[in-house]
Amino acid sequence: MGRVRAYVGLGANIGDADDTLAAAVHTLAALPGVRLAGVSRLYATAPVGVTDQAEFRNAVVALDVPGGRDPDTGALALLIALKGLERAFGRREGPRWGPRALDLDLLVFGRHAIRAERPPEARSDDPARAAAQWLTVPHASARERLFVLAPLADLAPGLRPPGWDETVVTARARRVSIEGPAAVRPVARWDRVAGAWDPQDPGALAGDGSPVARDGSPPWH
């Protein structure tokens, strides 16, 4: 099937979340057969669902990955790798929307709409979360979560994932109008040369939710 452009969401709010996400970017880039194609800005985001916890750090990476013999096979192979990395970074099952050492979500896998049963190594340890036993791509909640849409729009503003009737940038603007621009704050950009977050002024979200940088440079460089 060749290679597929996949977008993966990263999130953490336990310990030094900035360092955790930086390490996760490097680890994702080192996966066999994977090429790191882009890194969004790093965002500070308000917790959703369980609000009595530390704010999160969120980002999105673009990866060119092996497509597998078919979309389901390729997406499941990537999911297994993501779940293995979560465990390696200390992820343990907890309440939904609760604190996370590292969250890695497969948001988009090329132009493919996927619903596939997860293999055991990619399942939740919580049997009550039946929905977590299925992989759904595009991610079922991505369209309604500003902490996903803001970084995804840094990398693919014009993308219209399968099943969406709007682009990512339009969805982001819609969610900004609902949640308010304070729900996500860009706090750093990825420096490809240094391989680290650059805490220089990364700009802010404009009134329509679009990224604005004082130096006019892209969100990642």
pLDDT band at 46 (very low <50, low <70, confident <90, very high): confident
Structure tokens at 158: 């014009």
Q: Report the pLDDT averaged over residues 99-125.
A: 85
**CATH 3.30.70.560 corresponds to the domain 3-212:** yes
Per residue in 183-209, pLDDT (tens digit) is 999 999 999 999 999 996 545 444 344
Domain limits, the chain:
3-212
Q: Mean pLDDT over residues 42-47, rounded?
A: 89
Burial environment of residue 78 by CB neighbours within 10 A (0 to 12, 13 to 18, 19 or more): buried
Query: Per residue in 126-144, pLDDT tens?
Result: 444 545 688 999 998 899 9
Predicted model pTM: 0.86
Most confident residue range from 21-35, 46-60, 89-103? 21-35
pLDDT beyond 70 at 182: yes
Q: 82: which 2 tokens?
A: 């993501």
Question: Would you say residue 121 has pLDDT above 90?
Answer: no
Q: Contact 123/132 with Cβ under 8 angstroms? A: yes
